[in-house]
Structure 1
């Protein structure tokens, strides 16, 4: 009988103190051999299935095989055109809430004054983060130096 305050685990319907049957022990090398043989056999079956599936005609493909459809499609190629530089840098935010970057003054707002801003860019696309918040995302307008918060033009007449 167990001592006061202790419990004996009995997860089966076997009488108490009956030893549970243990699976046969295998040496680690035998276990690895067993797994590697089964994995090799499984890979062989998968390779055979893929070969058969991709080279038989399918009604849904108008009688073509998946391999024929794949071969007929244009393959992806690397993007061409000018290389767009990218990178990351840190800039201080001025007392007026502006950072200087790539010849431009980017307005973030006075909320961010005195913080350090991390600038991520690719070409003219820019994301400015302060701590873990996105303070601003924009595409630089190279026709102006001062990158306003809004694109709205202020005018006295409407």
Structure 2
């Protein structure tokens, strides 16, 4: 079963409640109805649809959720997903960035300086050379990456990637495309 099919089945709130009740230990139509607050008719109709799709085994009033099908669908979807685009042409830098950047956000600020420098060099590219930014704008640009904007701002300044004077910042280091 494909992950998209499972998601489509669970997009219906009634079927979602039935699956949730089964996952939490309900085993009969009556138990699912009690746990979910649904009527017996709603549970029976949803269970029939889930059984036709192969997510639930129905034997009279007994219901068994095939939880293994969720994991199998997730694994198949992950295998079919395209490889993520590298964040850097340098394989070593890409390995560091892949460990700390997910979906365009910084998952954590590396404590090891060498790794932090790779991440900071990547982050500083949101600042255009020659442009002066008020602190409020610097904070807004960094907040897209991580909630601790003060730490990122401090690291960028301490490592010479940004300079500041009187609350105004500008890019003063890092790799620049020419």
The two structures share one fold, judged by TM-score above 0.5: no
More helix by share: 2
Greater radius of gyration (CA): 1
More strand by share: 1
Bigger relative contact order (CA 8 A; separation at least 6): 2
* TM-score of the aligned structures, taking structure 1 as reference length: 0.27
